[in-house]
Structure 1
């Protein structure tokens, strides 16, 4: 590896800044509105079940857009798709801020989600194509920043805004960020990101199967995570329809000719792509499930308010920020497998400690455990994201980004849903007089049942640790990708031997 090859040159650093500016608020918007549901329901005179669609509509629109991004980049070029997505997200944000009814707010959140859903995979595509394999870990550290900060900073930022401003500023705050992101993109996105192939056809059958299938599955899982029972008609209908459509989409993709499918499922026949992607899925199930458990633990057992609970999980973001830049550099130098495995093991070990939490565990110890989870998260995520791209051609980056983001989105939806159901079941089994609802759990904790409730949370953390154990096994099985070495320079005055094969 030469120094020039490994260095992040100014052009690549500029591209990384463009991607970061464009994705940070779109990811934060998945959580920043969570703390505002009561305010929104009161001001717009609607029920909690209706206002919940402000969150659900954004998530579903974001999810349905992801499968389109690979085709859109090939057809119109990454630069055009990036600018169009930023415009849609920014316009949707401003319209959300001036919404006059709950119906208009939900509709504008859907527009926001359409723009936001394209930005992350398109950003990953541009960085993967520009970086090459020797710098993949470091540029994926940039992509990981919003994903790491959203669950931690979203509720905190939302609570701070609501303490001093009207809820409309939750959306208006996006406008100046989008203006800056567009200005940076216009200035720094070169023509290399603007090429297009007008001959690429849209896979309509794949679109009809994958986008609604993902939306239905995520909706069903979200309903389960929000407290609906597994036997709920909404959960059963969403999950069943989603599974059927996605299985049909996979079959269709496998039969389509190379390069014609909306999602290139043939990528999953490569171990170098399958194992990191599957590892990210299992890791996402465990970690994003924990991001539901931790705030609830602080609220129900330790009596924290929403903003206070958000601040108590902020060390997770600090720990991740401290290690992710280092992990990307180490992954580029030594390979992704062992760095990612170390990070997953650190998170899993911290979760095992969480299984022993009680109602009186010292707060410094709790915050230390949260910090350790963040440290492991920062070590694991950039190398895993980078590993999926190693061994692929530059032209395969759009398809890899689309497929990887679809799988990660499913993991982040399944984790909270599964752990919410596990927690409800554990509350019924361990907390006397509790039927499994959070209201019952809160009353039990206030009347002397806090230790029993902490035991129920321990069951949830144990399940999350199990998901991390699966992720660790997958990460350890990632093959070492060996790229062909450059042929030796011919001696002076002698032609190169055309029969000499590069080293494997």
Structure 2
């Protein structure tokens, strides 16, 4: 690839690394933030949920805005917003300032991430070069989250505010490099006819209510009517959105794109993948820190083995995809995840790290084989003027799945906890581990139905899944 293409890829990988490391570092710093600012448990949970609401609620709108308003413009604008509000979080002295900062940072990521993904799919021609670029991009995204746990532990030792200031510095470097290097792709634009305001408002409201309902699942006995109302309102707005799009001359989301079976299947698998991983990561963190007494840095280093996809995604995965196709690689990765979760069901209070390591490595293998190929499938064959929409859909699935996985494992873990003893905690954790195991099993079944016998050619791999 030309040197400029590598430069563009480095900038966009830096941005997705920024998004992953930002989320992971904050998770590690939460106890220190609560101790310093005196936040209640509800307020602390709200700091996490605010980001999820902004990210999940605006992702579809962000993807379509990139198509209609310009990918480079949206990427640079919202990267600047991300920088500013991450800095605001670092200066916060009250809980409501943190809530505002995290919500707007989540909205900024919702616009920036699909714009960055669509810049890749429109900069690199469909085929071998695009596939390699997407696999490197996906590996960097997963690596950002895994490395963020370690970096967050180190920065929190210096002071929790550095968890907010470090992304500011990284954002500034990416922004200064992006301005001269990124160019707006010369793609064919859809006919001008105005922006679908009604569709934008209804789908954003629907996604925010659905994500809010998912977050509230973490506390099933606390305000059940409000949780049900959030889901009902979200589904009602989603139905209104579909009705609006069917009649709109310039729909925000062309519903015909959902007739693509590979795209729908890829999005389902994406949601189940992140639901399983984020639920598992949460349970492992509880196990290591609360049941075993490990420090945040020790926990981050223990989970670092799951970041093996950083090396595998850009090296081994492209060769396998070109040789066997996306579907077979994805199914192999999901089977690795199934084995990892099954092995971890046998956890005990005296487990050595050597006993945990096979599961960590297998999870790294799962991400290396699944995350990138799913992104290829979700964007393959989509018209260039809808690449932002396709990117918004797959990223919405990843984010919604992560929120769902965290909420369900939390609810199951709390419901299964019979007493405040290590043995009871371990039993509840084993029960909750069935959630990521079940999610991965469903993903495997869905992905396996997309297996094809068509042999890949030298320069084009099948994207079926």
TM-score, scaled to structure 1: 0.83
> What displacement does 1:422 show?
2.1
Counterpart-to-counterpart distance in 2, 1:38 and 1:117 = 26
Secondary structure (helix, strand or coil) at the match of 2:335 reads helix
Aligned match of 1:145: 139
Preserved CA contact (<8 Å) 2:196 2:248: no
Deviations along 1:282-319, whole A, 9 cap, x unmatched?
A: 222222211211111222332323332222111111x2
Alpha carbon RMSD of aligned pairs, Å? Answer: 2.7
Counterparts of residues 368-379 of structure 1 (less than 5 Å): 368-379=358-369
Counterpart-to-counterpart distance in 1, 2:402 and 2:379 = 20
Deviations along 1:154-174, whole A, 9 cap, x unmatched?
A: 33222211212x322211112
2:231 pairs, out of 229, 239, 244, with 239
Higher RCO structure, 1 or 2 (CA under 8 Å, sep 6+)? 2
Aligned match of 2:312: 323
TM-score, scaled to structure 2: 0.89
Counterpart-to-counterpart distance in 1, 2:391 and 2:94 = 36
Counterparts of residues 241-390 of structure 1 (less than 5 Å): 241-253=233-245, 255-256=246-247, 260-317=250-307, 319-325=308-314, 326-390=316-380
Preserved CA contact (<8 Å) 2:47 2:98: yes
Aligned match of 2:461: none
Cα 1:295–1:265 change in 2 (3 A) is farther
Report how many residues are paired: 456
Q: Which runs of 5+ in 1 are unaligned?
A: 1-7, 429-433, 435-439, 486-504
Preserved CA contact (<8 Å) 1:93 1:108: yes
Counterpart-to-counterpart distance in 2, 1:353 and 1:19 = 36
Cα 1:304–1:199 change in 2 (3 A) is same
1:47 pairs, out of 29, 40, 44, with 40
> What displacement does 1:19 show?
0.5
> What displacement does 1:406 show?
1.9
Counterpart-to-counterpart distance in 1, 2:38 and 2:352 = 42
1:467 pairs, out of 439, 443, 446, with 439
Counterpart-to-counterpart distance in 2, 1:237 and 1:351 = 34
Counterpart-to-counterpart distance in 1, 2:256 and 2:191 = 23
Deviations along 1:465-488, whole A, 9 cap, x unmatched?
A: 221111112212226598999xxx
Preserved CA contact (<8 Å) 1:78 1:195: no
Preserved CA contact (<8 Å) 2:276 2:440: yes
Counterpart-to-counterpart distance in 1, 2:376 and 2:23 = 24
Higher Cα Rg: structure 1 or 2? 1
Counterpart-to-counterpart distance in 2, 1:465 and 1:471 = 10
Counterparts of residues 7-406 of structure 1 (less than 5 Å): 8-135=1-128, 136-164=130-158, 166-192=159-185, 199-225=192-218, 227-229=219-221, 232-253=224-245, 255-256=246-247, 260-317=250-307, 319-325=308-314, 326-406=316-396
